[in-house]
Structure 1
Amino acid sequence: MVGQTDIAESVLSPDRLLPAEGLPLRVARELYESVEDLPIVSPHGHIPVEWFAQDKHFANPTDLFITPDHYVTRILHGQGVALSELGVGQSDFTDQQARNAFLMLGKHWSAFAGTPMRYWFEDSLARVFGIKKKFGPETAGAIYDELDEMLKTPEFSTRALANRFNMDFVSTTDDPVSDLKLHDKVNADPGFKPFVAPAFRPDKYLEPSRADWPQLVDALGRSADIDASTYEGFTEAMRRRRRYFKDHGAVLSDHSHADLNCERLSDGEVHLLFGEAYAGRIGAKDAARLRAHLFNDQARLAQEDGLVMTVHPAIARNYDATAFANYGADVGGDIPARAEYVEALRPLLNAYGNNPDFHFVAFTDDETVYSRELAPLAGFYPSFFIGAPWWFIDAPDSISRYFHDVVPYAGFTKLSGFIDDTRAICSIPSRHDMNRRVTASFVASLVCDRRISMEEGLEIVHNQIAVQPKHVFKLDAAEQ
């Protein structure tokens, strides 16, 4: 029988997330230890570049662990805690309010049992800050005070943390009109180890149904030094800005729309609908058709500039109208929806899917599509890769199901490698370590079943951590 002390110690067990015992455990240990200390490659994330440019010191533990992390605020909101009590959208959040928010996290800690957020948080406390006492209502205050003191020291600035985490590559998420000067500033620092790459995120510029779309088109044109008020001008502006991003280190464009429809319009129709949209007269149905065409254009432009195209559709954004009105976007009020890839992507994959130099990475929050749609597509098309479990499903059980669902149909070589998709900087090493443990466990099951040799298992695990993400996101080409 496992006792209470054993449970507390299991949080940092060297065998956490590995098989329970016997040969599977011994094999998984060896596989995990072979990749445990490899550098972190993070091709998709949301750490603001400003944090690195300013070498940000977090104001307090709530500023680090709670306010910017919608994974955490969403769970607390579900327990009846107002987002304002967590610092979300509050420009004048006091030190006392911040401490109260952390105490609130401790009060509701039982709500996080079984979640990856609990795993990441406890792992971060222990491995980043050296705090190994059990977190909960009774200890939250003392732990807050310990963290608060450490965050005031140079060792816990954003640059110092990234260097300590052995981060090799990290991508931000950026507006196409950004001048990227902060990326240049950060990457010019010889004392800062990671390369911080921008990522081209054009979603709002591809949505003609937006009331502010004409103004966005004008802003895009100004950034590209061209009149973008016509379809030809708009396309050229996109071409120039994508090239600008690539020249500044970007490796990907990132896209999230309600669906992946990408049917192209005739030349006459696209010019007509673009003009209607720019004049603010387009209807919803035609706006959706134009968006599908403009989204397809991003794949067409990728044939020229070589940027990897990543997609993660079917999220009901800002689902809670009150939270959106009071706090804005990205505060946890988004909900996954049903996703469809096969029919939606037919025009795009028929046009570009057989180009091995075009890399298309499909992420999903709908696990039902892994074996039915994504794995067969990746197994056939040279360009198609299956994104790692992301956002709502980047948990140990989901990662394990992902391997079981896609590897039999597509193989390891068509997976994206892990991405952490986070704004919570201290969770980055925890997330990557979690993935390395689950990867080792899955590969160990193949070794123990005598389906692959141990030598092959070591190679597969190493490739998944160190080789595959660089290949899929073309980092290997950028290093040459």
Structure 2
Amino acid sequence: MAARPLVLDDDRVLPTEPAVRAIAREIFAAVRDLPLISMHGHVEASVLADDEPFPDPAQLLVVPDHYVTRMFVSQGMRLEDLGVPRRDGGPVETDGRTIWRRFCAGWHLFRGTPSRFWLEQELHDVFGVDVHPSEETADAIYDQIADCIARPEFRPRALFDRFKLEILATTDAPSSTLDAHAAIAASDWDGRVVPTFRPDALVHIDRPTWKRDVEELGEVAGVAVDTYAGYIAALEQRREHFRKHGALATDHGHTSADTTPLDRADAERIYAAALAGSVEPAAAEAFAAHMLFEMARMSRDDGLVMQIHPGVARNHHAGVHDAFGPDKGFDIPLPVDFTRGLQPMLNAFGTDPGFRCVIFTIDETTYSRELAPLAGVYPSVRLGVPWWFLDSPHAMRRFREAVTETAGFYNTAGFVDDTRAFASIPARHDLARRIDSGYLAQLVANGQLALDEAIETAIDLSTTIPRAAYAPRS
């Protein structure tokens, strides 16, 4: 069988009605080559600090991308067979070519998914691949990509510059030394890579490793954490450490959006019980809600933008988490009550000019009912665009349709790619810009916007709005 050519339709995901598509093309032309602002992602800073060649095509495009691996797991393949490392160092597939062949043999599984969109654009635009992956083409594609990544122009920093990344935010544990960020800042490369403070492991006191993580926090902060006061002081010290290394935001992944604060005495009592290893589930939930409130208070004080993305049952399969660790595709959405959950935080800080927060969700039923009304009145609140399970063409369109009439465009925060797959970043932003161009084109066709307004809005959504949403507080 002849290989199927890989040709990208330049009008992909734009509206199909000819007159609207023509408008969308004009809008998209104004934004397609603008810089990328990546304020929420999971690429490791060490990748850019070390600037070493990527090891092989599988390690670059398959193994770190849980969007890819979870699809194969759903079809019965083991994570070991895809080269995902085990926590215990047990055997997994290490031959990149073998992993790549398995990926190409399963290419049909991605039909209709956003992963297919991103992967096609990566293969075609970044590596020059002109045939679809398949069992027959796997080796040739592997060799072509391997040849590319062996060349200097495909090293991480060169790709960063080629992708027109204006800024890349990483996600980092509070105990991180941020040595990789310091190394980048001290180098002669001018790429901007900033850390993001992610304290989840320290505020969920029922996690098995919580006590060890808190002790590590105290060590790196140089603060005794045997009391609640010391714990709070250590977190504040680490936030300042991050801020001095360029951090612009924090990141919080809680199960619920509850921000109810505790009385100081109750917080101290629960913290002491957790250190003693005897905390009740209800107390752990109350403490997590309290700490979300406390993190808002700290953001008001130090200016770091607070990103909140609740509503995920993390590590749904205990066996996979125990064997492979977190973030292996087994995080599943939950419904969230934002209106009541965020009320304590917003009562305290929602109109405070020193506080800024970006709210994300994967429960899209809340867009028009709760999130757009909240962002449409509280000056501190911005809506994070669809991410994770919602970063797909139809879901992105639904987002604009659900929130724009209530919150407008300028109470959103710009696209976030939320990815570990470095080479996919341009494709993800490209998809978002195409969808926004199509939505704006429909407004023009309906007589709701002039074309020049639509183009200006598209530019703002791509660059002006995210720059403003995460700008350091003066």
Match status 1:369 vs 2:366: yes
Between the aligned partners of 2:234 and 2:185, the Cα distance in structure 1 is: 26
Q: Contact 2:56–2:96 at 8 Å: present in 1 too?
A: yes
Deviation string for 1:194-243 (max 9, x for gaps)?
Answer: 31000000001001112332332222122222112211111111111111
Q: Contact 1:217–1:229 at 8 Å: present in 2 too?
A: no
3-state SS in 1 of match to 2:172: coil
Alignment-derived partner of residue 111 in structure 2? 113
Q: Return the offset for 1:93.
A: 5.8
Match status 1:198 vs 2:202: no
Q: Return the offset for 1:264.
A: 1.2
Between the aligned partners of 2:259 and 2:189, the Cα distance in structure 1 is: 44
Q: Return the offset for 1:94.
A: 6.3
Q: Contact 1:370–1:402 at 8 Å: present in 2 too?
A: yes
Alignment-derived partner of residue 249 in structure 1? 246
5 Å-filtered alignment, 1:78-227, equals 78-89=74-85, 97-192=95-190, 194-227=191-224
Q: Return the offset for 1:134.
A: 2.3
Q: Contact 2:82–2:93 at 8 Å: present in 1 too?
A: no
3-state SS in 2 of match to 1:419: coil
Q: Return the offset for 1:57.
A: 1.6
Between the aligned partners of 1:86 and 1:304, the Cα distance in structure 2 is: 45
Q: Which moved more, 1:214-223 or 1:446-455?
A: 214-223
Structure 2: runs of 5+ lacking an equivalent: none
Q: 2:412 aligns with which of 403, 411, 415?
A: 415
Between the aligned partners of 1:333 and 1:290, the Cα distance in structure 2 is: 25
* Partner AA of 1:400 in structure 2: R
Q: Return the offset for 1:183.
A: 0.2
Alignment-derived partner of residue 37 in structure 1? 33
Alignment-derived partner of residue 281 in structure 2? 284
Between the aligned partners of 1:133 and 1:210, the Cα distance in structure 2 is: 46
Between the aligned partners of 1:22 and 1:275, the Cα distance in structure 2 is: 65
Q: Return the offset for 1:16.
A: 1.3
Deviation string for 1:371-402 (max 9, x for gaps)?
Answer: 11100000010011111111111111111111
Q: Contact 1:79–1:108 at 8 Å: present in 2 too?
A: no
Structure 1: runs of 5+ lacking an equivalent: none
Q: Contact 2:40–2:417 at 8 Å: present in 1 too?
A: yes
Q: How many residues align?
A: 470
Change (3 A) 1:41 1:187: same
* Partner AA of 1:148 in structure 2: A
Deviation string for 1:319-356 (max 9, x for gaps)?
Answer: 11221122111111111111221111111011101123
Between the aligned partners of 2:34 and 2:188, the Cα distance in structure 1 is: 21
Q: 1:447 aligns with which of 444, 447, 451?
A: 444
Q: Contact 2:5–2:130 at 8 Å: present in 1 too?
A: no
Q: 1:378 aligns with which of 375, 389, 397?
A: 375
Q: Return the offset for 1:31.
A: 0.6
Alignment-derived partner of residue 360 in structure 1? 357
Q: Percent identity?
A: 39
* Partner AA of 1:68 in structure 2: P
Alignment-derived partner of residue 68 in structure 1? 64
Deviation string for 1:38-93 (max 9, x for gaps)?
Answer: 11100010001111111132211100110000000000111111110100015676
TM-score normalized by the length of structure 1:
0.94
Q: 2:333 aligns with which of 333, 336, 339?
A: 336
TM-score normalized by the length of structure 2:
0.96
Q: Return the offset for 1:141.
A: 2.0
* Partner AA of 2:133 in structure 1: F
